[in-house]
Amino acid sequence: MPLFWVVLWSTLPPLALFCDPDCCTVHESSSLQNVSPLLKSLQCHNDYESYVYCKWREHENIKLQLWFKTKNNREQCMPHGAEVQNASEHRTVHCRYETRAFSIGIKHTGFFLKNKTLSLCPSVPHKPLDLSQHLRARPPVNLSTHDGGDGGRWLSWSSPYATSPSLNKNLTYQLSFKTDRQDNWTSEDVTNTSMKLEKPLLLPGRRYEARVRARASVGQWSDWSPVVTWHTEEDTGQFPSLHCVLDGEKEVMCSWEVSREVDLFITYELACRPNQTAPSKRCCGNPKISSDLSRAVMRYSCSLTDIEPSHLLLELLPAHNAKSFKADQHIRPKPPQQVKVRKKDSNWMVEWMEPNTASEFRLYYQVWYYRTQDQGSAVLLNISAGSMSLSILDASLVPSQRYQVRVRSLVVPAHYNGIPSEWTDPVEWTSHEATWSLTTQIYFIISVFVAAVFLTLYCTIPACQRRAVLWVDSVPSPGKSKILSEQDMKGSITSNSLLSLSLSCSSSNALLWPTKDAENNYLEQNEGCWKCDSPLCPAQKVKSTDTSSMSFSGPYIFCQVSYSQPVSIVRYPEFLKHSNANYKLFL
């Protein structure tokens, strides 16, 4: 029985070296600075029922597959939808992972693979390195040269461990030199920090190059001191080489280089173990990362302290760059259903139906409406949980314009969280035609009234002016008499040509037209006068100095006669009506 347990324990270490399906563990960086750009672009959300939806940006046309870690294995996130390429030539890839694992505390951890046969994570791990065989000393410093005086040349340098006398005693150096036209180096082993190259070893008139390196009692030769430096390119998929440099008695600086393409989805972790049978433990939690000048290679470095370099075993363990998403904090609900717009009174009512979703969380909604021709006038409103309608006031809309409305769902932030759903398809409607307000109507009526008054005045004033001119022209006056005008043309009026009027006016208000009785009396009394040839009858002659025989007052002509009976006269308009009467005026 004891022999059985001895055999069993002897077989456990080799068995522990095998892993299935690959030896890559899942590594999730705790620092955002060390996260690859590929993982930064990865976004995943779920419906908290049946699937996880993810998208990411491909870098430099490297096609990768997204896998999710399961309890015992891994499952691929299947491509979903078409790839979208943006202006920066980065394609956005979408995939969908079918799963039923949804609850608080569940994580969906994804990582990338270039293809299914990628050999970066073999089923058999690499053999660990013996630190004593891969340990290097630090290169010498302050290499300088000066003339030896006899044609030779002195070369001197300083120990890289100036503060550690015990290490300096065990250091040996190797000096190499050559001309700039030679390909091979000439090397000399030295135990101190200076050496003289004798004249026979040097060729006259040539340019020489020299370098020096050191080796401790444990490990290999150090790198050469600075003279000439170069770097070899690492193929994709090649396991990186580990380089370690002794920094102190119990301090080692290890570094390794990875191509930028592999570094997007694979990382390497430094693991240590004291002997072959002990399990490997990660001994570098946060390595320093830098890149070369061409930015084609990423350089990782890690300092190991308080170790025994002669007994420590080191190895690099590959791991998938992964990113985890909490299922209850990355929910993307389904959009609302059956969105419609109907007229209610003078306003508009937007209504929708709640989508089919899990019952563990609640939803609230956002409504986005805008003019079809001007999306810059958009209005975004939050609708509280439980409400599935919104009333839009018609007064807030531009009249006779086409509008569109969209609705989306959001998770009520409490124990659950996520991102909004997609917007629903737009629903269109046309706002009411414009109506005049009371103020507008008052302004319009006042404007019409003012315009009417203006037009009336514009048309009536010139007409009144024309009528006034015609009336003035129609009023009789001595200045308009043709007889007076002709007489005026012949000469001035003498006393023999004075007018003797047969009619006299009793007052200024007397009528010009006589009554019939007065007319008969007048005719009888003056019958002889009308028949005489003399322009002035003897019985009615007046003196030339009598100015009362003719009177002009306004539009009427007032005359005096010698008879004593009163005579009534009429106004000038009635006088014109009786134009058939034979009246004569004598001058």
Q: What is the pLDDT of residues 511-532, one digit of tens each?
A: 444 444 544 544 444 444 444 4
Long-range contacts of 16-21 (CB under 8 A, 24+ apart): 16/279, 17/124, 17/125, 18/123, 18/124, 18/125, 19/123, 19/125, 20/123, 21/73, 21/74, 21/123
Label residue 536 by pLDDT band (50, 70, 90).
very low
Give residue 24's pLDDT. Answer: 75
Q: Which of 127-131, 403-407, 474-478: highest mean pLDDT?
A: 403-407
Question: In this structure, what DSSP letter does residue 294 have?
Answer: T
What's the pTM value of the predicted model, to 2 decimals? 0.52
Label residue 504 by pLDDT band (50, 70, 90).
very low
Which of 106-115, 361-370, 416-425, 578-587 bottoms out in mean pLDDT, i.e. has the lowest? Answer: 578-587
pLDDT at 129 over 50: yes
List residues bridging with 321 in a β-sheet. 27
Give residue 348's pLDDT. Answer: 93
Torsional sign, CA 77, 79, 83, 89: positive
Please indicate whether residue 209 or residue 389 has the higher confidence score (pLDDT): 389
Contact 569, 502 (CB under 8 A): no
Contact 143, 153 (CB under 8 A): no
| Token pair 């290999």 in the structure block, residue | 220
CA angle 321/327/329 to nearest 5° reads 100
Please indicate whether residue 158 or residue 484 has the higher confidence score (pLDDT): 158
| Token pair 């003399």 in the structure block, residue | 534
Contact 430, 400 (CB under 8 A): yes
Q: Do domains 129-317 and 334-430 have the same CATH topology?
A: yes
Cβ partners under 8 Å of residue 296, min gap 6: 233, 259, 260
CATH of 129-317, one of 3.30.930.10, 3.30.70.920, 2.60.40.2250, 2.60.40.10: 2.60.40.10
pLDDT at 482 over 70: no
55, amino acid identity? K
Label residue 106 by pLDDT band (50, 70, 90).
very high
Tell me the average pLDDT of the chain: 76
Please indicate whether residue 474 or residue 423 has the higher confidence score (pLDDT): 423
Retrieve residue 441's tokens: 């109507």
pLDDT at 38 over 80: yes
pLDDT in tens, 284-298: 888 999 987 767 778
Where in the chain are the domains? 129-317, 334-430, 436-474, 480-577
Overall average pLDDT of the 17-34 stretch = 66
Instruction: Give CA separation, 223 vs 136, 321, 423, in Å.
Output: 8, 32, 62
Taking alpha carbons only, the member of 95, 132, 121, 139 closest to residue 24 is 121
The verdict on domain 334-430 having CATH code 1.10.3720.10 is no
Q: Does residue 491 come out as left (phi exceeding 0), alpha (psi in the -120 to 50 range) or beta?
A: left
Which of 110-119, 172-181, 215-224, 424-433 bottoms out in mean pLDDT, i.e. has the lowest? Answer: 110-119
Give residue 288's pLDDT. Answer: 92
Please indicate whether residue 116 or residue 30 has the higher confidence score (pLDDT): 30
pLDDT at 562 over 80: no
pLDDT in tens, 309-359: 888 899 999 999 999 999 999 999 999 999 999 999 889 999 999 999 888
